[in-house]
């Protein structure tokens, strides 16, 4: 059975990926900061496939030492790590004049350095297994979002990281898949600028614009399994990237029209 290591598996896309991989008969190492939420997801995965073995760990991706135990125990129990999904992330929102440098730095600590910590911690095992690495970026990596410069920058950075290491890690037999989702149903819009989940926070994106998380997880798993270099998820995401690439003036016209600070 393949072993899948997922960061940020306590909600949204990460939780949906855990269930998707359980459905396909994988063993799982699930990490996040909220261990109670992880335990619930692990129970749901077990219900989907009782043969899946699941380990859960409290691990904040900002701290490299947090990965020591999950990787060690994963190897003791499963013998290898075949796929690593660097998914943990959140969004700092607000226009430049509303933010401070520390907001940008906080955004990068999780979304960029958290991804690097994940990669360095698991790389020796991926080399042995000639495994698959996936980096969850965003359509925001392509689009210059007026009210989310910190988030767009962080996602552009990891998109660039994925593309840059694709060839080098390929020499070790490791595939690198950069995933750029558009709007996907999750808790991301109810997380504040400090990275804390606020249940009472309102959704800013209408639900009809969001792809169901389980559908997104299917498409993400498919792209990783095929060892694709990059995949843009959701039709709207694909459309926006297309417009931005080929008709940037339309994108900026619409941005200006709908921009609210």
Ligand X SMILES: NC(=O)c1ccc[n+]([C@@H]2O[C@H](COP(=O)([O-])OP(=O)(O)OC[C@H]3O[C@@H](n4cnc5c(N)ncnc54)[C@H](OP(=O)(O)O)[C@@H]3O)[C@@H](O)[C@H]2O)c1
Segment near ligand X (CB under 6 A); pick from 5-13, 161-169, 220-228, 251-259:
5-13
94-113 mask for ligand X (x: CB under 6 A)? ----------------x---
Residue 21 is a catalytic residue: no
The active-site residue, picked from 142, 151, 244, 252, is 151
Contact 39, 15 (CB under 8 A): no
Residue of 160, 162, 84, 249 lying closest to 152 (CA atoms): 160
How big is the site for ligand X, counted in residues (CB under 6 A)?
Answer: 32
Binding residues for ligand X restricted to 184-203, rule: CB under 6 A: 184, 186-188, 191, 195, 197
181 lies in the site for ligand X, by CB under 6 A: yes
Closer CB to ligand X, 61 or 123, in the complex: 61
CA separation for the pair 122, 1 (Å, rounded): 18
Closer CB to ligand X, 188 or 224, in the complex: 188
Contacts of 173 (CB under 8 A, 6+ apart): 127, 130
Contact 94, 147 (CB under 8 A): yes
Residue of 73, 78, 95 lying closest to 27 (CA atoms): 78
Residue 230 dihedral angles phi and psi, to the nearest 5°: -150, 145
Residue of 212, 108, 195 lying closest to 150 (CA atoms): 108
Closer CB to ligand X, 50 or 207, in the complex: 207
Please identify which residue in the block is written with the tokens 């959140």.
Answer: 90
227-256 mask for ligand X (x: CB under 6 A)? ------------------------------
Residue 114 CB-density burial (10 A; 0-12 exposed, 13-18 middle, 19+ buried):
buried
Segment near ligand X (CB under 6 A); pick from 42-50, 83-91, 118-126, 248-256:
83-91
CA distances from 28 to 17, 81, 225, 255 (A): 10, 9, 16, 41
CA separation for the pair 241, 261 (Å, rounded): 23
110-139 mask for ligand X (x: CB under 6 A)? x---x---------------------x-x-
Nearest distance, CB of residue 138 and ligand X, angstroms: 3
Closer CB to ligand X, 60 or 125, in the complex: 60
Among 34, 77, 212, 245, binds ligand X (CB under 6 A): 34
219 lies in the site for ligand X, by CB under 6 A: no
Binding residues for ligand X restricted to 60-79, rule: CB under 6 A: 60-62
Contact 30, 54 (CB under 8 A): yes
Report the interface residues with ligand X, using CB under 6 A. Answer: 7-14, 32-34, 37, 60-62, 87-90, 110, 114, 136, 138, 181, 183-184, 186-188, 191, 195, 197
Q: Which of the residues are catalytic?
A: 151
């Amino acid at each position: 059975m393949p072993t899948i290591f997922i960061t940020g598996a306590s909600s949204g896309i990460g939780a949906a990926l855990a269930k998707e991989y359980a459905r396909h008969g994988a063993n799982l190492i699930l990490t996040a900061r909220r261990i109670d939420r992880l335990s619930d997801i692990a129970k749901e995965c077990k219900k989907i496939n009782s043969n899946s073995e699941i380990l859960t760990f409290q691990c904040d991706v900002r701290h490299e030492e947090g990965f020591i135990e999950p990787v060690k125990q994963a190897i003791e129990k499963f013998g290898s790590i075949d796929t690593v999904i660097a998914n943990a992330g959140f969004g700092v929102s607000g226009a430049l004049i509303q933010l401070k440098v520390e907001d940008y730095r906080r955004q990068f600590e999780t979304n960029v350095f958290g991804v690097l910590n994940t990669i360095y911690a698991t790389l020796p095992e991926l080399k042995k297994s000639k495994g698959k690495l996936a980096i969850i970026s965003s359509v925001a990596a392509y689009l210059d979002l007026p009210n989310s410069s910190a988030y767009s920058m962080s996602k552009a950075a990891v998109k660039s990281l994925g593309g840059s290491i694709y060839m080098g890690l390929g020499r070790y037999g490791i595939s690198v898949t950069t995933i750029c989702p558009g709007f996907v149903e999750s808790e991301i819009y109810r997380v504040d600028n400090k990275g804390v989940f606020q249940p009472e926070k309102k959704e800013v994106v209408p639900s009809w614009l969001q792809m169901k998380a389980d559908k997104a997880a299917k498409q993400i798993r498919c792209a990783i399994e095929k060892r694709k270099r990059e995949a843009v998820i959701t039709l709207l995401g694909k459309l926006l990237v297309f417009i931005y690439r080929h008709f940037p003036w339309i994108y900026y016209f619409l941005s200006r029209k709908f921009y609210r600070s």
